[in-house]
Structure 1
Amino acid sequence: MRPSRAPAEDRPRHIGFLLLPDFPLMSYASAVEPLRAANVLAGAPLYRWSNLSVDGEPARASVGVTVAPDLGLGEAGGLDQLFVCAGGNPAAFDHKPTFARLRAAAAAGVAVGGMSGGSYILARAGLLGGRRCTIHWEHIPALIEEFPDVLLERSLYVFDGDRATCAGGLAAFDMMVDLIGRRHGARLAMAVSEWYLRTQARSGEEDQRIALRDRAQVANPRVLKALALMEERLEAPLSREKLAEAAGVTLRQLERLFARHMRKSVAGHYQDLRLDRARKLLRQTSLPVMEVAVACGFIAGGHFSRAYKARFGRSPKAERTPE
């Protein structure tokens, strides 16, 4: 039995997807398929969608598949909603005409959103200042460094007025099902979920990442407490003594626990976390090397460069030079 159609506008809601080069196919498919299912299950054209590209040429996904555009970006003002779908390194995308067209669409009343790295593009266009949003966890360090006025949440998806952002991947499906439910009722939203064998709904507030104990493959609560503090304090690292105090053990005990569970010293693991963050910033932003160092808790540039080369086999400056 098909769900009854909730009252809605007479015409289908027109949603556009701006597919940037190397866009994530999973995010795109996860957003489009629920719209198709909603139409089928409701027995009416509740939604229609169009693909857009920056230059009018087919957009190439990260897996090599190309998608032909239906509209030019200059026609985006006629949409009801427009999502920017970006992956790879969205911080490298700096196309001012695209930013101007996105601003024009928003000014024309189009609800704009971002999927995966799409929030970075919206921020670059000046459309997320003072707005709550989310982005894929891989791009979080770069986004907060370049756009401190963005109210970032480390969640699956976020609605803030006429802005809708999601972390990408399967979170795009969660966001679209939520949007369908808000517009056409919970019954249709549940039917769409069931259509795709999704038997457990996820709210937007849920964390993007697997729990720390599962990621680290550690169950010891003392170690987990220290690890959580390390991840929170990368720019202003805590001393080993403070970490041990917060974990409720002596420094000697904490070192023994790290040696047993992490196969590293406390300082060694902490430094690796900070260097991993530095690598993301070097690859995803144009921040000067010294600013990257400071943002990752390194005061001396020489120490940062030596530690970076020891871990990754190349200097911070070389990280920005194509191999």
Structure 2
Amino acid sequence: MSFDNLSRVTQERPLRMLLVNAGEADAITWAGLVQPLRLAAATLGRDVLHLETMTPAQVVLAQPGWHIALLVADEGQAPMAPELSRAVIERCRSAEYWGGVGAGVLWLATAGLMAGVRIALPWALYADTEGISERAILTPHLFELDGRHLSCCGGAASIDFSLTMIEHLFGATVQATIKESLCIERVRGHEERQRVALQARFGALQPRLSEAVTLMETNIEEPLSTDDIANLVGLSRRQLERLFKQYLGSLPSRYYLELRLQRARQLLLETNHSIVQVGLMCGFSSGSHFSTAFGALFGNTPREERQRKLSPPV
């Protein structure tokens, strides 16, 4: 689901947003999320954005009525006591949009509240998902919006998540003001992946999945077929597709295509290769296929993406 859907809650005034800090106040997961939103609240005024930050104990005593509520904790944070956890989660779920950041995502999934939902979970917590009976769909993305469910992997991605919400809730001009205040040049999109070695992300949990994605990453210019990849890692096509669906929320062919397009986007922004060259370097023999696929994923053409590199920021 597109983050554009968040804009419907801005019809309410003020927009009430709750951030529950279940971790350390100086953790980057918390600071990266709350600081842009505090600046937005100061810029817009309390009658437009009413931002509330609370501890778990405070939330239990608070009056519900939030439009957006997020449970936040750094990935190394120990879980809350069961009774407190249940009470906090119930308060968060009363919001129109709700979810978690960092370890908060895992806690919600462990509570069985993310079944069938695409979630962005810190890669370091992947090994802790084996005991979850109501399966969530783990994606490698920085953050996700699926139905009413928001999730972010935390860490530095909290900044991108916070600024993305600001843009879709209050517009690009407000976001640009906050970016300038924080000296941030580029906001990463939700579809960008956590930059971490696959072996570290999956480890011994799913070695064949890790091997399959490594094959994709090392064969960008001349893509392999799904059958070839399955044979190389010692699985049937159906087994490989099942692994990708369960852990990455995608089919191998779709994941591979997005991987190539991500690489193309990087080349367009960071190199001087022509658009045709970039397409060929990422396995697209047809310029029209490259442009169509790129537009479907990113919402603009390769030429427009290149223009971002050439144009000064507004």
Find the residue that maps to 2:53 and give its secondary structure.
Answer: strand
Could you say which residue in structure 2 is the equivalent of 1:156? 142
Q: Is 1:139 aligned to 2:125, yes or no?
A: yes
Matched to 1:32, the amino acid is V
Q: Secondary structure at the match of 1:85?
A: strand
Deviation at 1:31, TM superposition (A): 1.4
Larger-Rg structure: 1
Instruction: Specify which structure has the higher proportion of helix.
Output: 2
Query: What residue is the counterpart of 1:32 in the other structure?
Result: 34
Per-residue Cα deviation, 1:43-65 (whole angstroms, up to 9, x for no partner): 6643222222233xxxxxxxxxx
The one-letter amino acid paired with 2:20 is: L
Matched, 1:121 2:107: yes
Is the partner of 1:178 in helix, strand or coil? helix
Q: Distance in 2 between the 1:165 and 1:96 partners?
A: 23
**In the alignment, residue 105 of structure 2 is paired with which amino acid?**
S
Preserved CA contact (<8 Å) 1:180 1:188: yes
Distance in 2 (alpha carbons) for counterparts of 1:21 and 1:230: 24
User: Counterpart of 2:193?
Assistant: 207
Cα drift, residue 131 of structure 1: 0.8
Q: When the two structures are superposed, what TM-score results if normalisation uses the length of structure 1?
A: 0.54
Partner of 2:52: 50
Q: Structure 1 residue aligned with 2:204, among 224, 234, 241? A: 234
Shift of 1:132: 0.8
Secondary structure of 1:146's match? coil
CA deviations over 1:178-218 (Å, ceiling 9, x no partner): 111112222222222222111112001111124x4xxxxxx
Kept in 2: contact 1:118–1:135 (CA 8 A): no
Measured in 1, the distance between the counterparts of 2:200 and 2:30 equals 34
Q: Which runs of 5+ in 1 are unaligned?
A: 1-5, 56-70, 213-227, 248-323
| Pairwise CA distance, 1:42 | 4.1
- Per the alignment, residue 267 of structure 2 pairs with none
Residue matched to 1:225: none
- Structure 2: which amino acid aligns with 1:96? E
Q: Deviations over 1:107-139 (max 9, x none)?
A: x34421211111011113322111111121111
Name the SS for the 1:200 alignment partner: coil
Q: Please, which of 40, 44, 65 is the counterpart of residue 78 of structure 1? A: 65
Maintained 8 Å contact 2:75/2:102: no
- Aligned counterparts, 1:1-323, within 5 A: 8-9=10-11, 11-22=13-24, 25-42=27-44, 45-55=47-57, 71-75=58-62, 77-87=64-74, 89-90=76-77, 92-103=79-90, 105-106=92-93, 108-147=94-133, 149-210=135-196, 212=197, 234-235=204-205
Measured after TM superposition, the shift of residue 230 of structure 1 is: 9.7
The question of whether the paired residues in 1 share the 8 Å contact of 2:15 and 2:48 is answered with yes
For residues 176 and 80 of structure 2, the distance between their equivalents in structure 1, rounded to whole angstroms, comes to 37
Unpaired runs of at least 5, structure 2: 1-6, 217-314
Identity over aligned pairs, percent: 21
User: Structure 1 residues 51, 147: closer, same or farther in 2, change over 3 A?
Assistant: farther
Contact 1:15 1:50 in 2 (8 A): yes
